[in-house]
């Protein structure tokens, strides 16, 4: 803890002793070659480090009616899936919860023979219901799998679509090593000067 506090204090004191902040500007300005070049539209709307694949894709599809329509259909399908399954799952989960509660209630039955009979009746009723709704649960399972596959496939599609935009950004902003070399030289010079002080 003391080392962290010392390092922080040292860093702050060094920063407060800077002679002229303008000296560092040329180094930063020279870091990116051709920084003013036109970049793809997907990066123009976003500044900072919060550019995501979804941001880029959203910008990319703005001018493509087919992709916009596809995106709308996928989003709508995912929303509808959630709503449809919610209705079925509500009934299924409520029924399952009722059977679980009935089973828990059997703990209050002190007559062991009666308890076993009631538990068998609960189990038989539950099994009949499972058989009754098997077609429904099979369909729900298929819809869930299709939903996962849709999300997975669309995610892969979006990533592939945005890779070219990411590469365009890189090509428009090639990084130069000159500024880093200059900065390393500056650091080394300062370290040598520091060694001379006693």
- Domain-by-domain residue ranges, the chain? 55-168
3-class DSSP string for the chain? CHHHHHHHHHHHHHHHCCCCHHHHHHHHHCCECCCCCCCCHHHHCCCCCCCCHHHHHHHHHCCCHHHHHHHHHHHHHHHHHHHHHHHHHHHHHHHHHHHHHHHHHHHHCCCHHHHHHHHHHHHHHHHHHHHHCHHHHHHHHHHHHHHHHHHHHHHHHHHHHHHHHHHHHHHHCCECCHHHHHHHHHHHHHHHHHHHCC
pLDDT tens digits, 8-42: 444 444 444 444 444 444 555 556 555 443 345 55
pLDDT tens digits, 103-112: 999 999 999 9
Confidence of residue 94 (pLDDT cuts 50, 70, 90): very high
* pLDDT for res 9: 47
Confidence of residue 179 (pLDDT cuts 50, 70, 90): confident
Q: Which residue has the higher pLDDT, 28 or 94?
A: 94
């Amino acid at each position: 803890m003391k080392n962290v506090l010392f390092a922080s204090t040292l860093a702050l004191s060094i920063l407060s002793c800077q002679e002229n902040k303008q000296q560092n500007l040329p180094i930063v300005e020279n870091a990116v070659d051709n920084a003013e070049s036109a970049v793809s539209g997907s990066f123009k709307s976003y500044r900072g480090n919060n550019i995501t694949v979804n941001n880029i894709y959203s910008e990319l599809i703005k001018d493509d009616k087919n992709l916009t329509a596809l995106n709308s259909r996928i989003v709508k399908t995912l929303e509808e899936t959630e709503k449809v399954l919610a209705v079925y799952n509500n009934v299924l989960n409520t029924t399952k919860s009722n059977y679980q509660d009935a089973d828990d209630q059997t703990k209050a039955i002190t007559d062991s023979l009666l308890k076993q009979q009631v538990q068998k009746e609960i189990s038989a009723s539950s099994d009949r219901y499972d058989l009754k709704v098997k077609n429904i649960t099979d369909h729900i399972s298929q819809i869930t799998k299709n939903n996962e596959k849709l999300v997975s496939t669309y995610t892969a599609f979006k990533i592939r679509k945005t890779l070219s935009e990411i590469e365009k950004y890189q090509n428009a902003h090639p990084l130069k090593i000159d500024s880093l070399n200059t900065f390393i030289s500056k650091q080394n010079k300062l370290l040598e000067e520091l060694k001379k002080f006693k």
